[in-house]
Every structure is written in C-alpha cells, then in structure tokens.
A and B are shown apart, each in its own frame.
Chain A
Amino acid sequence: MGKVWVYAELNQGALAPTSLELMALARELGDVEAVALGGGAKAAAATLGKHGAKVVHVNEDAAFDDFVAEPATAALASLYKEQAPDLILFSFTPDSREVAGRLAARLEVGLISNAGNVVATGGGFVAKVPYFGGAKLASMKANKKPAIILVRPKSFEPSEAGGTAEVKDFKASIDEGSKRAHIIERVVEASEKVKLEDAKVVISGGRGMGGPNNFPLLEELANALGGAVGASRAVVDAGWVPYSMQVGQTGKSVRPGVYIAVGISGAMQHTVGMKASKIIIAINKDAEAPIMKMADLGVVGDALKIVPALTAAVKAKKK
C-alpha cells in the first residue's frame, strides 16, 4: 500500500467539504495522511482523523490564510521531500488548483486534473478523466512520483471511518519570498439563501434566458421550490451573473434531486458539473440541443413563457 496524502483545503479556518470527499477516495488507495495548513488546522485534524487519516500534518501559520498559494506550495514541497508520499490528492477547486499547479511545477512532476475517480493499479495510480466532450472516459496513468491528481467536487460522498489521527505539528519553512500575493480584504456579496452546492433543487440559466434582466424569473421559481439558481459559463463570461453561480467543470459541481436547465445547450464544461443530478429537466428552444439527450424530461419551447407559468403552478400546488 502506498502513502496517500490529502491536501485539506481550509477556508478561513473551516475545512472544505470537498476535502472529506477526498478522504473517502483516499481510503481506497493506500495509507492516508492529510496536510492541513493555516488557522483551524488542528481542529480540522480531528475531523480528518474520523474520516480515516492516520496522520495529519498541521501548521497554523497565518501566512497560509493571508497569501495566495505560495506559502502552501513551499510547505508542501519541503514536507514532500521529508515524507515522500506516492500520491497527493487535491480538490479540483479554485483555491486548491492554484496550489497544486505551483507544486506540480516546483517538483517537476506535472499533474492530472478533473478526475472523477482514481484507482490503484500495480503500484501506480490511474485517474478517470472525462474526455472528448465528455463522451469518453479516459484512463490516465500517472507517470511521476509523486502523482498529483485533482478530483472534481461531488465525485465522492464523505463518510466517517472511525479512528483518530496522530497530529504532527511540522515546521514549515515559509520564506518571506513566498509572501507575495497578499489578501488584504474579503468581501462577501452573495446573499446566500440556499447554497447552490447543497440545494435539493437547482435551476440554472444559460444564453437562452435572453439577458440578465430575465434571471429574476429563475429566482422566483427557485424561491417557490426552495432551491438555488445556477448558470452556465457562457452567461457568467458575458457578465450577466457572478462567477459564484457558475455550474460546471471549473464552477460548482452539484447533484441535486432535481436540476432544471433553462436555455442551456449542454456543453461538457457545464454537464460535467451537473450530470449526477437525480432528475434533469431541460427547457430549450432547440430540440437538438445536447442537453435534451441527457434530460429525463425535455421541453421544447419558450423559457420566458414556461418559467413564469411553472412558478405560478408550483405556488398554486403549495396552497
């Protein structure tokens, strides 16, 4: 059995749920250790232990919270030299991928991103990665040591394995030179009613919504259903809605009970982040749109008429 590291992502002291998803995978692959950096690392270590980490390497230096990627890269690189894990798992999230990218370049090993699964084979690791517009699933064998693999959020269900981690406070050599991209202010904009990742119903809009002025129609439907509103990359790029609403490969991954795609054609960038939803309903003008081929119910019609009518019908049903 190889030694597998999980990079535990901490956001201002809170352990990211995706890190526990990684723990569920890591337990299948070898002896699991985790690395937690920044404020809250020791508290996170207890949780990581319950999820199967035998050892958690911690360092609570404030630099990890205050500076982008570089202090974490420096700490991981030096700890790697000492500990030599065979595999380092990262979540394929904006914060973790920045650290993974720098580390993969510093160690000169490269990486595999966007994996939906990893299997151990004959002393090595093979990642399953969507390929060719999502129509194919590639088995990618990691050639380097350490293998660095980034796993898409929501690919695994967190589960406790019982156990307690040995917490090892390690000395990180964070030189001043890595304290460069300084986070000087954090601004919270989202009025988070229901979190997109946790919503039981997600209603997402794409170009077919016609313009940002029509997104309140989706909000009203989401409110009626107790759900959350997402969006395709196309409309996020067009500036209609903030990035925090993007569902897809590099946005958020969701797997709600019901996903309603409104005016979204269904490019892989998007579908990879939502196709694990239990039920998919698509509303689109184009009967040939790829989303129609994966929807449980596809409605060909005018979203701007159907959505308000649906909202009214849901409200009436609730009375």
Chain B
Amino acid sequence: MTGPLKIVVTVKQVPDPNSSLTLEADNTLSREKEVVLDPGDECGVEEGLQLKEAHGGEVILVSMGPERAKDAIRKGLSMGADRGVLITDPQLAGADALLTARALAAAIKPEAPDLVICSTESYDGSTGMVPPMLAELLGVPQLTFAKKVEVDGSNVKVHRQTGDGYQVVEASTPALITVTAGIAEPRYASLKGIMAARSKEIKLIGLGDLGIERGEPAETIEGLADAATRKAGAVIEDDGTAVDRIIQVLAEAKVI
C-alpha cells in the first residue's frame, strides 16, 4: 500500500514538430511558430495522472518559458493535473541546460514532491541533458528511460530501456524518473476537463523569486556555418522500374 503521492511533472512548450523552425538574430531558436505541449511531456503527464489515480495525491506541472507557455500547462491541466507553476523571466531567454535545471530545481524544491517525472528528452532540443542535472540539483536519484513505473510505499521500480532490452532499477522516494514516450498513451482532455482547467491555478514566478542569477553560460556560439550537405541524387517515381534501380545501386555498393 502506498500513501498519496505528490508528483511534479516538468512540461515544455515546443515548436510544433510538424512546423519548420526559424532563427532569431542572436542565433537562438525562434519560439514564434505554432507551439504545442511537447508530445513527450504529454506521456509524462499521463503517467503522473495514472500514478495519482492508483495511489491518490496531487499532480503539479512545472514549466519554464515565456508567458504563453501557460497554454502548454493549461493543456496538461485539462488532462487532469491539479495545478501549474510557470517560471517566466526575460533573462531566461536562450537559457542553457544548466540554467534551466537550476531554475526548475529552485521551483520544485519547495514543493517537496515524492516523484519528479520528466520526458527522456524534449522534441526540439533532443539532448536529454536537463533531467540528470535536475536530479543532481534536487539531490535525488534518477530512474531513467522508464517504459514502466511501479510505486510501492516509498519504493519506486522502473523498467529502464537499454540497447538490448531493459534493466529493473529501484530507488526510494523522493526520486526523479524520465519516461520514454511509449510508457502511456496520453488521454484526450474531456470537455469537462477543459472547463475545469480554466479555473485551476497557474502560478507565475521569476528568477528573482527563485533567488537565481543568470550567470555565464557554459558555451558561447562563436559562429555558424552551413552544415555539409549531401548532394541530392536522383529522385524517381515508382513506375514499376524502381526495384531495378535500387538493385543496381545495391550492386554498385557491392552489398549484393
């Protein structure tokens, strides 16, 4: 048996994976495109909600971004999360992974959650560096690449995906978990959920509230060059001869 769980899920607003990106003058990625709740985070929210449904407790969404990132939090609230916290500050524009982790840690610490759930990596950056930094700054163990999560009392057990299978990894709460997108099919927000989300709290906090200064970033972009591109080859419509063309290429490459 397990008592109620206090669960923080980190969420991020990202450019819609189906739209193209643009660059700002200072070489940071523009967030002016269509934006959505990171699809990976939807799975994190879903996992958090399922754990809450099984054990009771509360699901708090914590995000960092411009004020309009409230929309991403609102989406998670309409799925059923209880409340949200948005760290928003002009000084955070273009924040690197460590600054992001520091801000998230400062906002999450006072909540003293049993579990922090992150997606393994964001859709836009895809580097997955914030979760281990966040775990370190919160002083908790990290249970990563989880495709399954079980909580029993203060024991958390995950199936951690590896290159050739999975590991069973366990720790005591409080702990940070990163979940892979396959862990749970995110639910659709019901009309009732969408209505209820309108009155749920989203607390806005700035860097000053967290007692954090921006500091020097780990890296400075000194220059941008065009990446080496491969020359496009022939593009052919399959009119029944495509297989022959492929066979020809395979033969030239000496794989058949």
Contacts and interface: CB of A to CB of B under 8 A. Distances in A.
A294 B168 contact: no
A104 interface: yes
B236 A298 contact: yes
A101 interface: yes
Contacts of A136: 224-227
A105 B161 contact: no
Contact of B249 (A186, A190, A296): A296
A190 B180 CA distance: 18
B216 interface: yes
A235 to B, nearest CB: 10
12 contacts: A97-B127, A104-B218, A111-B98, A140-B220, A141-B220, A185-B167, A226-B255, A236-B180, A252-B163, A292-B232, A306-B242, A313-B246
Of B229, B242, B247, the most chain A CB neighbours within 10 A belong to B242
A180 B141 contact: yes
Given A183-B167, A243-B161, A105 B232 contact: no
| Interface size, B (range) | 35 or more
A113 B129 contact: yes
B164 A69 contact: no
B57 interface: no
A68 B142 contact: yes
B133 interface: yes
A188 B229 contact: no
B165 A186 contact: yes
Interface string B165-195: 1111111100100001110000000000000
A261 interface: no
A238 B135 CA distance: 27
Contacts of B144: 68, 94, 98
Interface in A179-222: 180-190, 192, 200-201
A91 interface: no
B205 interface: no
Contacts of A236: 180-182
Interface string B200-236: 0000000000000000111111111111111011111
Q: Is the interface of A mostly helix, strand, loop or mixed?
A: mixed
A250 B98 contact: no
A238 B184 CA distance: 10
Of B144, B181, B218, B226, the most chain A CB neighbours within 10 A belong to B218
B131 A281 contact: no
B23 A132 contact: yes
A281 B44 CA distance: 35
Of A99, A133, A134, the most chain B CB neighbours within 10 A belong to A133
Contacts of B216: 143-144
Given A111-B129, A130-B227, A301-B242, A180 B181 contact: no
Given A294-B232, A299-B236, A244 B219 contact: no
B107 to A, nearest CB: 16
A73 B136 contact: yes
Interface in A84-102: 94, 97-102
B204 to A, nearest CB: 25
A304 to B, nearest CB: 12
Interface in B76-134: 96-99, 101, 120-121, 126-134
Of all A-B residue pairs in the complex, the 4 with the closest CB atoms, nearest first, are A110-B218, A301-B238, A101-B132, A237-B181
Given A105-B132, A306-B243, 6 more contacts: A102-B142, A111-B97, A250-B128, A260-B246, A293-B229, A317-B251
Contact of B142 (A69, A293, A301, A318): A69
A168 interface: no
A56 B82 CA distance: 51
Nearest to A225: B255
A138 B256 contact: no
Nearest to B132: A101
B143 interface: yes
Contacts of B244: 313
